[in-house]
Every structure is written in structure tokens, then in C-alpha cells.
Structure 1
């Protein structure tokens, strides 16, 4: 694969169509972070960044997949500096499909996790790399896939799904500082149906897990387990139609989960929080009345949350990146969409080294040959609520609040239905796209 073409561009008009406001809950002042830069990385095929992590040298490491090679879909890891310049990239390929979904940095390297279909069977896939991207260890510990990897003390923990005698269930694997497996656990769903974990949150005394259970339609599945993986409690949350979980953040006090819900008049971004004892504290829906979803969640310095995802509601392309900022109780503070006239979709978001935000994902616009890996950096902004033109509880807001009332059982809850979500408010403006650089070369 040739080294990706890199297109650097800046949106000159901050309120242009490429940075749209969704709904009418707009904060006064400069509380939304401004765009600093964005870049695309890709070859002749489709390329995706699925996750991103900070490195100690002020840069970032990204993981995903690339089709810009004759061998098919390969795992893809790239290191960039703080300005988005490529320092190195690596592809990892076999006879089948190879995908990386999650990445973290360790004290002396990188761990990336996903799925490989070498041999025709999906296998959980773990790569341990040094700081230059060279492989130290590669593991395929069993049938399944790993969707999440997180640092855990001096080691790391993996979450996903595996197949056992009882069918497909949740999978949690702990590795120590040497990379050796300390233990692994599998978890059946409450009714024995198919289940999978999408995210894991390590705490001081165990782990909080978020995923899905295919019971009837598809519902959210939340578990708390001890430091050796012993199950302490579990909850399911869902309505009449499909719900999906994509990401989670949290600590000892509880877990906040991001995803999407179709149990209403539209498909909406969906977030909710459970405390450490398994009590549901709040639930919100976000969107403009068509198709919206959230698949990244992170805590902000003001105690609130930042969620990223995608939207098809009133945008200028087939999909646009969607960023939502809330308070600690899930109340909407602001929301914004970023995109071109084609497919644009960020997956993860992390804090930059100077307090801003870095989003990574995929774009089909901005001069891309195909769908390319996409990185967007936003300035810090004021990550506080400031004052809003309208309260997030008023009907003009795009934030939905749970209307289900008390839970009927601790194991099954229903998401709320928001019946009055307004569409986009798209300002009339001009977008100037400036090509600052174009660079080609051979792959390292």
C-alpha cells in the first residue's frame, strides 16, 4: 500500500454549512470549541480510523482498517504528531479480513485489539507493539472479537464477545504488565440470548461493562464485576425496537453509556447513566428527528460529558459528524455537526495534550479518492454550560428526557420516546476549503 495522500484543509467560515447547528439550543458566547485543523489519510480504497490514543511525546496513535491494498481489509495503525503529520504507519494482514477496533498506549508501547477472520473463523485479535509500531506479540486467544481495550494498572483489559457451549456471550480478558494472560471470564446474558460487550471501564475494585443483548430486538446490557471478574449485578435497558451501545465512560461512581435508540418516532443518539450500585440515574435522547447516533463518550473537566457520533438529519451530506456536550446530569449544553457534502463520521474523541479535542473516523468528502481516515482537532473552547438561549428542558431543545418513570424491575428498563425533536437549523454561509498541502510517497 502506498503511503496515504494527506489533504489538509480549514473551514474558513466557522458557522458555515460544514459546521452546522442542530436544533435551537444554542449557548451564548464562545462555548463551542473552534476547529483548529482536520486531515484525511487514505489510499485508493476505503480506510477507517476506529480509535485514537494519546502518546507521551505529544502525538497520537490511531487504529482501524484499510482496504488500500490488494490483500483486502487489513488492520491499520498510524502514529501522528500533534499537528497531524504522519510519523509512521503499519498494516497487519493475513489471508482473511483483519480489523482493529480499539487502541491504548502502555508505559513502553501500544496495544491494539479487534478481530481477524484468518482461517474463515472470527477470532479475537490482540497486537502488542513497541513505540515505533513494530510487533512484539500477536495473539488470537479464541473465537470472537474484542471491541474495547483499556489500560488497567500495569496491564490491560479486553472486552468483546466469544462463542461457548451456551452460545455467544460477553468476554473479558485481563493481561498483566508482561503481556501474559492473568485471567479471562465469559458471561451469559440474563435470558441466554446472544450478548456482546462493546466497552469496559476499569475501576479501583473491578470493572463496569457495556454492551448489547439480542433479546427479542436488541437492548443495552450493563454489568458490574469484581476485580477478578466475578459478576455483581447486571441490567438491561431497551424498548420495543432496536437499541445499540457503542461506547462508555465512567469511574467508581458509575458508568455513562452512548449509543442509539430506535424505540421512538426516529432513530436518535442515546445516552444514559447507572451508578455503582446499578440504579439508573438518567437517560437522554439527542437528534433532529431523522437518523442520529452517538458512539463515543468522554468526561470533560467541568464534570459533564462530550459525545460524538453521526447525523443524517438535515445535513449537507449523506452523513455528518455530530458532537454533543452535556452537563453532569445529561442536560444538553450545545451540539454541532461537522462535515462535507459526502459521508463524514467520527468514531472516537479524546482530549488533546493542551485541553482541546481530537476526533477520528472516516470521510468520503474533502477531495478523498474513496472513504479516507479523518482526524479533526477542535480547540478547548469553554467546556462549561455558560448560558443557553433556551433551556435544555424546553420543547425547543433537541435533548430528550426519560419519561418511563420508575423501573418495573432492576433487570429491564425502557428508553424514553421524544416526539418533538426539531430538525437542523442550517445557516446560509460560504465554505472555503484551502488546500494547504499534498504529499505522496511510498509506504514505510
Structure 2
């Protein structure tokens, strides 16, 4: 387990680059110094918050094919109930366009929203069902038009909910589209012993359920976050959650199933003493998996961001933690074209005392390439991002600009600028031979000798 210390990482990165050199000629009589400096800065292209009456929070974001972005989340600003599902549309420059809320009298929470190839969006939510003898929750899936009008919505109860007196409800968190336009959805349902099991459902594009399966390992098994389920390259599915017994603590639990939901294998990660909670799952280009989690078992702090890389059979290849002595939490993960990862979370170590959104870039070995925090003095958190290319990210999250218990949905677009090199020309004497230093950085050739310089992480504020 390797704990990254941000204060020293940049120096280590430079030293690695210095090892990949090719020399020709002689080094005699060089009097000038070549200065190598790689600078990383974050430029905020736009930043907006969307105030409403009370408390709003973002869960996920997608790019709207018609332009702009759609953010899903929840609100208690609408006056309909405790919490309602919230859909917010913003323009490409972050300007507010419209919002819609859905819900009844009790608590309804919107989690993951996805684009559908057939048009519109699909949304996974947890819905409080007041139409039964005992108020309980169900998994709600809603199909929305491109303008967020409800085309259909269905609430689903798990296979062990025949006893309506059960105090354990069903909850929905994650949804993904299959290669044939079906939907795969993940949540948690009541188990046969009134405990919790991870729950998968496959649906037709009309919302009709094709099958459902539950998965049990310990006393409590839960899929608890958006971005937790996906269809794999082989046509099966993978879902990540956590599992624990009443006498111990959470372990991350990865389950691989076939196209009918039959379990093929499962793996756990972490110890049973601390606390681990997964935030996101991706399948990598080589068929392996990247798992993003928050851990209290490893690292140096109260909690840290934890990134796990596995092969196609769920066997761990490496894992790394990122954070400081205070709270750091994970929310979103994406594999990048070079096999590394972009990670989003929140930190109380490297930004404002009340917390900032934290964006990190990790290489294919789990080593930190760069990181930046974003926010103001009041506290901010990141929920998810869209990678736009050219080191540009559109981030959705929440801000506490008005102070607790108020919060607003918050979005920003940032570009990470990486400068290459600055040099002082070298002038060999008449008796010396010229030489060339060639770096593995594309298209960079530097003449002269080297001087080590330090990279540093940057804090970005309004």
C-alpha cells in the first residue's frame, strides 16, 4: 500500500523524467545552464451556482446531445415533500436554463442519469411508497424525453418484499444502458432475513423487467452509489458495493455476473476492521476494472480516496490511496486514453477548511500526475464530471455558499494547462563538442545541461 504525499510527489515525477535521456558528443566546457520547468495550472473557464429556496445537491451529470448539460440530484426547495428528485438543465457556458422536480409527500432522491441511444434519458432514483400499509421505499426508474418530460416511470420492489410489514425498503442508485438498448439497474433490497442484499434488474427499453437477481455475502450487502453498475465487454455485468457483518466493518465487494445475472465470481477488498465504501466502477480497456472508494483503513487520514486496479477476473493488480490527515472522500472515476484515471472527490486537507472539490489525474500504475482543488471558503463538493478532451473537465457538485443547512447545485468547467519546457541557450566553447539531450516528452529536444526544478500542486479559487 503506497500513500502519496502531495508535497513531495512533484519532485519524484521530475526525477523519473530525468532518467530517460540520450546523450551524444562531449560535455566538455559547457558554461550555460538549461532550466527544465514543467508547470501545471488550472484555468476555470466558467463557474456557476444555482440557488433555490433551501437545500439542493447534485448526484450525476451527462452531456445533452442537444447542447448543454443535464444534472440530476435532489432538492427540498420545491415544497412538495421532504426531498424531491431534481433535474437541472444548463447551457454549454453554465447558464441556467430550466429545472424540473418529481416526487410525492415523502423522501424521493434522484441519483444517476444516463443518455439513451433511442433518445432522452433514464434516471435511477429511490422513491418513498406511501400507497402500502407500511410506508416503504422502492427503486424508481424514469424514462425522460429530451426536455425531461416523463415518458414512463416504474417503481420496483425486490423479490423478498411480499411481507409489507417489513421495515427494510428497496433503494435504487445506479443505471447503465446495454448494447441492445436494454437497461441494467443496481440497488439494494430486503433479504430473506430482513437484512440487505445487492440487487440487479435488467429491463427492456419500455421498463418491463426481464429478470432480477440478488447477491448475499454477509449480514449487510449494499450497492450504495451512482456509477456502480456497467455492462462488460463480454456481455455480462459488473456491480460494486460493500459487505459487512454486524461485528465488523465494510469491505468493498465486486461481483461479476453473466448476461442473465448469474454470478460468475466475486472479490472483496480491504480489511474488516476499518471502513471502506465504493463510489464508482469502470471497466478498463484491457477488460480489468478500476474501483474508486473511500477508506478509513489505509492511508494517513481520517478517510482517504482509494483507487483499486484489478485484472479481468477481479484479482488486484495494485491499489493506492490519496489524502491527508483530515477527511478526503471519493465520488467519480473515468479511465483515460493512456490507461490512467481521472478521479473526482472532496478534500478537507488541500483546500478550504470546509472542503473543496478535488480533481486528480493518476497514471496507469496508480501514481499521481497532478491534482487541483476547486471551491470557495464556504465549502464545496464534487459529484461527477464529464471529460471534454484537451485536459478539460465539466464538474457538477454542491456548494454551501449560504452556510449550513443550505446548499446549492454548483458546476464549473476547467482546463488543466501543462506547459512543456523553458531553456537558457547553451554555447559550447570552440574546443568542445555539442551534445543533445532527448526527453521522452514528445517533440522536445533540449540543448545543454540539466537543473532540477520542483513541480507544485495548485489551489484554484474564485
Match of 1:133 among 140, 145, 148: 148
Match of 1:296 among 328, 332, 337: 332
Deviation at 1:207, TM superposition (A): 1.1
Alignment of 1:240-389 (within 5 A): 240-251=273-284, 253-264=287-298, 265-266=300-301, 267-352=303-388, 356-365=392-401, 370-379=406-415, 381=417
Deviation at 1:304, TM superposition (A): 1.1
Q: 1:369 to 1:236 in 2, by over 3 A?
A: closer
Runs of 5+ in structure 1 lacking a partner? 1-20, 388-395, 398-423, 434-444
Match of 1:39 among 25, 30, 48: 48
Taking the aligned partners of 1:273 and 1:383, their CA distance within structure 2 comes to 29
Taking the aligned partners of 1:375 and 1:56, their CA distance within structure 2 comes to 18
Q: Is 1:304–1:325's contact at 8 Å kept on the other side of the alignment?
A: yes
Give the number of equivalent residue pairs.
Answer: 375
Match of 1:227 among 259, 274, 279: 259
3-state SS of paired residue (1:117) = strand
Alignment of 1:424-443 (within 5 A): 433=462
Q: 1:141 to 1:315 in 2, by over 3 A?
A: same
Q: 1:248 to 1:33 in 2, by over 3 A?
A: farther
In the other structure, the counterpart of 2:101 is: 91
Q: Which moved more, 1:170-179 or 1:367-376?
A: 367-376
In the other structure, the counterpart of 1:68 is: 77
Deviation at 1:363, TM superposition (A): 0.4
Q: Is 2:219–2:243's contact at 8 Å kept on the other side of the alignment?
A: no
- Summarize deviations over 1:96-134 as a string: whole Å, max 9, x none: 011011000112111111211232312111111100110
In the other structure, the counterpart of 2:268 is: 236
- Is residue 58 of structure 1 aligned with residue 67 of structure 2? yes
In the other structure, the counterpart of 1:82 is: 92
Deviation at 1:331, TM superposition (A): 1.2
Q: Is 2:39–2:419's contact at 8 Å kept on the other side of the alignment?
A: no
- Structure with max Cα Rg: 2
Q: Is 1:292–1:312's contact at 8 Å kept on the other side of the alignment?
A: yes
Taking the aligned partners of 1:112 and 1:192, their CA distance within structure 2 comes to 29
Deviation at 1:377, TM superposition (A): 0.8
TM-score (norm 1): 0.78
Q: 1:220 to 1:379 in 2, by over 3 A?
A: same
- Is residue 155 of structure 1 aligned with residue 189 of structure 2? no
- Summarize deviations over 1:228-260 as a string: whole Å, max 9, x none: 111011011122211111111114611111111
Q: Is 1:210–1:245's contact at 8 Å kept on the other side of the alignment?
A: yes
In the other structure, the counterpart of 2:231 is: 202
Taking the aligned partners of 1:426 and 1:203, their CA distance within structure 2 comes to 37
Q: Is 2:289–2:314's contact at 8 Å kept on the other side of the alignment?
A: no
Taking the aligned partners of 1:112 and 1:382, their CA distance within structure 2 comes to 36
Q: What is the alpha-carbon root mean square deviation over aligned residues?
A: 2.8
Q: Following superposition, which runs of at least 4 residues in structure 1 exceed 6 angstroms of deviation?
A: 366-369, 383-387, 424-427
In the other structure, the counterpart of 1:403 is: none
Q: Is 1:188–1:195's contact at 8 Å kept on the other side of the alignment?
A: no
3-state SS of paired residue (1:140) = strand
